[in-house]
Amino acid sequence: MKKLIYNHTEENLKRTFAWSSSWYHPYESAWSIFHKFMFANKVTINDLFKIFGSESIQNKRSNVWSKKDGDLFTLEGFDEKRLQDILGFNLKANIIEESATILKILIQKHHYKVFYIDTFRFCPECIKIGYHSTFHQFKLFNTCPLHNKPLSSICPSCGGGWKNEYNLIKNEIKHPFQCQCGFLFINEDMARMFAKTWSSNSHDIRDSSLVTRLFELNAHSEKTKRIHISDCIDLTNYENPFEYLYLTVNSKEENTKHIV
């Protein structure tokens, strides 16, 4: 495990954080990375802002953060250099770049929020090993690309708890990977051997057929240009939004403009 020394500006002391860049996997979400960091180092969300926060965050006199500060799509409240120095990679740049890759042609005509859901969603299998992907927030997918399991926003123990926004501030989770009711989403074996589990490359989401087909769509720029998705449409209301879009883009009606 790689350990990094970081000078905390507020406390003016050196602290070693438990972290390895091998714990990060392609298209892993900022939510996942921050929860891994909190779990490994036993720190809170407030600590995250003090450790990784932007200059404006560091200059705040109180621990009162805005929804904009906690946005996990843009990471506006976080400093790129701090992320790079501690994590060993620029999480902010990675999230923006990977989101652009996911949406590519579609985002040229639509705001990214048309395609991302604000409510936190997770795969019941991925979350057991402390993994969450940006694809789990992608409205065109209602199943996990890795496990083909329906994505959920509900704690299996209490039936609630995790119905909150995909935002560090606007969520109800007090401890990493744990519901307010106390239910721990990661399994006990993983909790004991988290470093080994997170370093495994067994969950490369790029290998899934669903993601491969999405990237095929992005390659057909001329066909994708025929698609317009209304801002009034909630893609999560479709039973299988990606399949519908995929078939529409690949339809034989070459000169038809499709409106979803």
Query: Are 156 and 149 spatial neighbours (Cβ–Cβ below 8 Å)?
Result: no
Task: List strand residue ranges (DSSP E) for the chain, in order.
Answer: 3-8, 13-18, 227-228, 258-259
The DSSP 8-state label assigned to residue 257 in this structure reads P
Say which residues have a Cβ less than 8 Å from residue 6's Cβ, sequence separation at least 6: 14, 15, 16, 17, 51, 82, 85, 86
So where are the chain's domains? 3-200
Query: Are 135 and 145 spatial neighbours (Cβ–Cβ below 8 Å)?
Result: yes
Query: Are 99 and 111 spatial neighbours (Cβ–Cβ below 8 Å)?
Result: no
Segment holding 91, helix H or strand E: helix 91-103
Calculate Rg over the CA atoms of the chain: 19
- Predicted model pTM: 0.83
Closest of 110, 113, 155 to residue 260, by C-alpha = 110
Question: For each of the chain's 260 residues, which pLDDT tens digit applies?
Answer: 444 444 444 443 346 899 999 999 989 999 999 999 999 999 998 899 999 999 988 888 777 788 888 999 889 999 999 999 999 999 999 988 888 777 665 655 556 677 888 889 999 999 999 999 999 999 889 999 999 999 999 888 888 756 577 888 866 567 899 888 888 899 878 778 888 888 876 667 877 888 888 887 777 666 666 666 766 777 777 778 888 777 777 765 555 444 45
